[in-house]
Structure 1
């Protein structure tokens, strides 16, 4: 090829690549026209013109898309690759200038003018300094660049030609195509080296800055932060691959969708969105992220805005309550009143009812019937033995194992915002150093405050105003007064024998037959047998023992059906003892004759009423008084008050006025292991002491209840219904009670009222006149009619036998 004469040769357009003279380089070729150009050059043995194109995206470049200066090269080797690609090795010969493109099809053919090589540069101090500076910068670059090998530096150090040094370094330096092209187009060796030196200095500064930044980041990153960075990179990759859900993490997307879907109050929604933003910033698997997930799951599981449609049909509710329970008229009436008001005023907030009564009378089961009658979901919370405030209000969510309190847990269990919550055994709450749960319930059971109840775990208000609360208790004594003030108390008293008979026939016996796999034809129990069972084998206010005894009968019957092949078992009052053994209790245990110093008192217990015998013995002595029978302070005070009253009336009662000096009095309450205390035994103790001192017997079919003062006045008592029922159950015929309790007779069962004679008394004089069977000693002007014929006894009209 003659000097400076244009020559036509195949051309190859390079994308993102520049080839320098005297350099050996291999690269991949994919375009069909480029492969044909290589084949032509290889076949004909001629050189090929390698020139870079200005825009990488151009697929079929024209003359205007190519740079003016390229490299005339020899094709050393062509390697065919899978997928129609070719890997070629070329050796740059010299620079060339593109004059024009002769052909573009089937491959580029260009008219190229060779640029002659530069003459050797005269060595000068400036050139030497420039070469040394280039050596130093390139050595620094190799140390900083991660993919550069030190062997490249040896080829540079072996040359002293500034043009070759510039071309070699530019070929091996990952610079932009425009910068490399500028060095290729520079024909003056020293000027070319200066341009390279500037680019090299810039690349070294960039590498140093990158390493400095990486060092700072590496120092700050912890293990969890590195995990977070990797996961963020993974999110980006998933987003680029289209594998994520709407541009975010699947879990976060689900939480966000649930928050939008739920009918949340504004404050709650803002709180959850804030916690969700915190979760997004947490590395996966961290302790804080676990706490936040647990919190979001718990809050979103609550039935925000979900309510069951309430049935406010009073007639239908009455039918349901009557079908499930016999008696309990006061409770049923109160529930039906609530429904009637609800029908007229649907916006009525939830009520707080407290069912108080002995065990086994149906307090818990009636709550289930109420929920069924009014179509509300029900959840039961047992408060017996709870002594931690966090059980009610929950734990702070930052604690390990934190959870909401029982109130919020019950709401979640019920699945609606207007359930019926049964707080069972509210009288058995405890307290210790961890707080007072009864005080925590003050907000829950207050219709004016519970609309914004805040659980410690939730940290947001939850509206409890639509909840119908029903609490149960055996006694009101242990319930704190502020808590009791928030509840409407409904008393469930003991069942009469007739009520127990109906409950056994309608509910208990069918239930036990079903439990034991018996049909009504296989076991028949007569009414008299049930009555005998109630009197002789149970002593309780409720029906739990009765239910167990009926279960025992079913087991005996099942044994006979299976073992003896009997088709039907019929139980009557006569053969009841055969199945259950000897009766445990004898209700009619009254003595056959009147006794001196023995009085039937009446006591109220948490399991109903009981007969409480008072015995007084008088023996010669020095005036000591002794009390036995596991008595409390109130009973002891009653005994001392009675003694003082008798001393003040000794003359009228016909008693030696010096008896307190010459006689010892022993007051005893049998069944001493049972604790006894309460203001109701005063007149019984007084009557027993007068009987013992005067040796006048007390009527055996009479019982009494009431407290006594030093002036002989009879004070009112409580629990009259249970006490009168105990008297009726034990065969008592007459009951003495304080005149102030006359109003309570309206609540007594009709059967008991028909079977007892009630005498209301105001003074102890009337008690003694009614109770002592014999006429008092002469000189007693006030008590001339011991059987109550005088004006001192006020018999209730219509209730005497």
Structure 2
């Protein structure tokens, strides 16, 4: 089904079929029946969820409850919150501030809606995703620039029935959603536990409490949400996890996102890694270091594009790398054998996979490896990048503009 017109066609077919059996229902009754067959409370909700001008919609996989409630609401541009997590939010839109004031004057509960497009300044129902979060307001602090810092804690998923400005403040009518019954998932949880350790190490994420949480919790939904909260993903991918109401499917999706082997590597980057090993082998170096990798990256199409966007002199950088490899690594020369990647080389390669996922690249490219290299602050490679004006911030800005993405 692509939009609500398909549902209308289903309703018309249902009505005609019943007529042949001497059962007469109105068109509106047939629409309501089709809505309930699809697990949605009523036709108005289904029509809103499947509007033709709201592309890339992920519909809830569980039945919405029929009762609704009205809350103050706030739209978010660049964050997807999850239940049982605390988030600092920074808000400045007048309609949002008024909604927060209403929430603090009332029960301190607010609906958090996720915008489909960050550029929309005055979102309406068509501009936000169907599934949001009911959150509790903990702190409300004015800032010097006229905006506000709001500390919130996610309580539960809700389905948005309406989202609009009422009395100059955002309000949302929402229904609770059923997330189904959690099944035993000990083996899956064990695999995620192991892979998430690699993920946090690659990103430098400190989560001292989460390992105890894994030991004490066996709820697939809670574990999936706890991991999803800490993963760095594009907004669309994060929302996909929020909208997966089945706890097991959500946990399985988390496992897939943590599986490095599922992320394809671009042809150019694969060739770049081989070239780095060749640079070491030609010099009979025992190890392929980050400097060998960086030299190979200067010849990589996506990486060199990012470096040029940082106004780097690739010629001089290449000369410095060659001098370093020829003069500073003589003690690593061996008579026979092939070069082995150092632990730092392997860390950068692994980190590049996660960074590609984080920025939404379909393939891992050399540009991702370049950004991954900045974390190795003690390496001569990182110092040379700094010397030639290639910083992580400037590289990230270039990548955000689409530089180095490759064909994908």
Give TM-score scaled by structure 1 length.
0.27
Contact 1:19 1:25 in 2 (8 A): yes
* Structure-2 change in CA distance of 1:96 and 1:221 (3 Å): closer
The reply to whether residue 218 of structure 1 matches residue 290 of structure 2 is: yes
Q: In the TM superposition, what are the counterparts of 1:242-391 in structure 2 within 5 Å?
A: 281-283=315-317
State the partner residue of 2:327: none
What is the rounded CA distance, in whole Å, between the counterparts of 1:76 and 1:87 in structure 2? Answer: 11
* Structure-2 change in CA distance of 1:283 and 1:49 (3 Å): closer
The reply to whether residue 180 of structure 1 matches residue 238 of structure 2 is: yes
State the partner residue of 1:416: none
What is the rounded CA distance, in whole Å, between the counterparts of 2:83 and 2:294 in structure 1? Answer: 49
**Alpha-carbon deviation of 1:87?**
1.3
**Per-residue CA distance 1:658-717 (angstroms, 9 max, x = gap):** xxxxxxxxxxxxxxxxxxxxxxxxxxxxxxxxxxxxxxxxxxxxxxxxxxxxxxxxxxxx
Paired residue secondary structure (1:183): helix
Decide which of 227, 233, 250 is 1:169's aligned counterpart: 227
Paired residue secondary structure (2:251): helix
**Alpha-carbon deviation of 1:65?**
0.7
What is the rounded CA distance, in whole Å, between the counterparts of 1:222 and 1:145 in structure 2? Answer: 20
* Between 230-239 and 139-148, the greater mean CA deviation after superposition: 230-239
Structure having the higher helix fraction is 2
State the partner residue of 1:110: 172
What is the rounded CA distance, in whole Å, between the counterparts of 1:80 and 1:168 in structure 2? Answer: 29
Paired residue secondary structure (1:54): coil
Contact 1:12 1:51 in 2 (8 A): yes
* Structure-2 change in CA distance of 1:159 and 1:237 (3 Å): same
**Per-residue CA distance 1:512-564 (angstroms, 9 max, x = gap):** xxxxxxxxxxxxxxxxxxxxxxxxxxxxxxxxxxxxxxxxxxxxxxxxxxxxx
* Structure-2 change in CA distance of 1:109 and 1:50 (3 Å): same
Return 5+ residue gaps in structure 2 as ranges: 1-64, 277-286, 321-408
State the partner residue of 1:99: 161
What is the rounded CA distance, in whole Å, between the counterparts of 2:154 and 2:316 in structure 1? Answer: 55
What is the rounded CA distance, in whole Å, between the counterparts of 2:115 and 2:213 in structure 1? Answer: 29
**Alpha-carbon deviation of 1:48?**
0.6
**Alpha-carbon deviation of 1:117?**
5.6
The reply to whether residue 11 of structure 1 matches residue 73 of structure 2 is: yes
What is the rounded CA distance, in whole Å, between the counterparts of 2:224 and 2:169 in structure 1? Answer: 32
Q: How many residues align?
A: 236
The reply to whether residue 70 of structure 1 matches residue 104 of structure 2 is: no
* Structure-2 change in CA distance of 1:206 and 1:167 (3 Å): farther
* Structure-2 change in CA distance of 1:34 and 1:160 (3 Å): same
Paired residue secondary structure (1:45): coil
**Alpha-carbon deviation of 1:149?**
3.8
What is the rounded CA distance, in whole Å, between the counterparts of 1:170 and 1:206 in structure 2? Answer: 21
Return 5+ residue gaps in structure 1 as ranges: 240-248, 250-279, 287-801
State the partner residue of 2:400: none
**Alpha-carbon deviation of 1:122?**
4.1
What is the rounded CA distance, in whole Å, between the counterparts of 2:76 and 2:221 in structure 1? Answer: 23
Q: In the TM superposition, what are the counterparts of 1:635-654 in structure 2 within 5 Å?
A: none
**Per-residue CA distance 1:226-271 (angstroms, 9 max, x = gap):** 9xxx9998874469xxxxxxxxx9xxxxxxxxxxxxxxxxxxxxxx
Paired residue secondary structure (1:5): strand
The structure that has the greater radius of gyration is: 1
State the partner residue of 1:331: none
Contact 1:137 1:204 in 2 (8 A): no
